[in-house]
Homo-oligomer: A and B are copies of this chain.
Amino acid sequence: MKLSTKGRYGLRAVLDLAINSKDEVVPLSEIALRQNISISYLEQLISKLRKAGIVTSIRGAQGGYKLAKDPATLSVGEILRVLEGSLEPVNCAEVTGEGESCAGSDTCVTKLVWMRISDSINKAVDSIMLSELIDENNKISGNICNDEDNKVLESPSCNN
């Protein structure tokens, strides 16, 4: 029941983008540096986000990425589902609403459990808007990071 680095790194990247792009585009190299993620790997993640319409890109020199949506209407759930593929705890048609039901699903009791887990996860992530994380970041970094040249003081060694 673990989120992969796709979801963890990807959400950090989107948040970084939301905080550090003011109408301008941000090159991936900057995000990679700030978030301590390799550019190559980050490319794969942001590619998914672009195809899903969460970020937009500008190619060429001085190009980069920016958020395609209003952070107030962009939920963490939308971002994580793009990156992780699905947040369902099981591959079960009754739970995911996709694919074929398996034989005997009408007498399957444990699907009740999987459905409740699924609902609770989806409700949790869909109720968190990106704007909330931005606000939280402003609160925290406002208190701490008031160094002169406004640089990143410590690399995020935490992988979560």
Contacts and interface: CB of A to CB of B under 8 A. Distances in A.
Interface string A62-96: 00000000000000100000001011111110010
A160 interface: yes
Interface in A123-160: 123-125, 127-128, 133, 136-137, 140-141, 144-145, 154, 156-160
Total identical chains: 2
Contact of A157 (B84, B102, B136): B102
Nearest to A4: B1
Nearest to A102: B158
Q: How large is the interface on A (under 10, 10 to 19, 20 to 34, 35 or more residues)?
A: 35 or more
Contact of A158 (B86, B104, B120, B133): B104
B90 A160 contact: yes
B2 A89 contact: yes
Contacts of A84: 1
Nearest to A11: B110
Question: A12, A88, A124, A140: which has the most chain B beta carbons within 10 Å?
Answer: A124
A133 B109 contact: yes
A111 B136 CA distance: 11
